[in-house]
């Protein structure tokens, strides 16, 4: 069954508490750090498909200098 809404937490320090938050508040569908803002549609698609999502890992961006 697809969800019509999602409960999400997004804040800068969420990466420290992501998994812990889901254990303490199982009604949360998505815990996301700001580095994943550009992937919100993909993350919400996972939630719509019935998954709890934690997107808190640090993302490294490599810049190539020419």
For 45-56, write each residue's pLDDT tens digit. Answer: 999 999 999 888
Q: Is residue 60 situated within a structural domain? A: no
Residue 61 lies in a domain: no
Residue numbers of the domain that contains 35? 8-55
pLDDT: is 57 or 4 the higher one?
A: 57
**pLDDT at residue 1 tops 60:** no
Domain count within the chain: 1
CA 22 vs. chain centroid, Å, equals: 11
d(C-alpha 19, C-alpha 43), whole Å: 16
DSSP state of 34: G
Is residue 43 situated within a structural domain? yes
Residue 30: both structure tokens together:
């998505």
Do the domain assignments include residue 34? yes
CA-CA-CA-CA torsion sign (2, 49, 28, 39): negative
Question: pLDDT class for 64, splitting at 50, 70, 90?
Answer: low
Which one, of 61, 58, 53, lies nearest residue 19 by Cα? 53
**pLDDT range class, residue 3, cuts 50, 70, 90:** low
């Amino acid at each position: 069954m697809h969800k019509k809404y999602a409960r999400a937490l997004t804040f800068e320090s969420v990466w420290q508490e992501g998994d812990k938050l889901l254990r303490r508040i199982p009604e949360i569908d998505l815990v996301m750090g700001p580095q994943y803002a550009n992937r919100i549609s993909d993350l919400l698609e996972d939630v719509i498909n019935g998954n709890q999502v934690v997107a808190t890992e640090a993302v490294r961006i490599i810049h190539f200098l020419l």
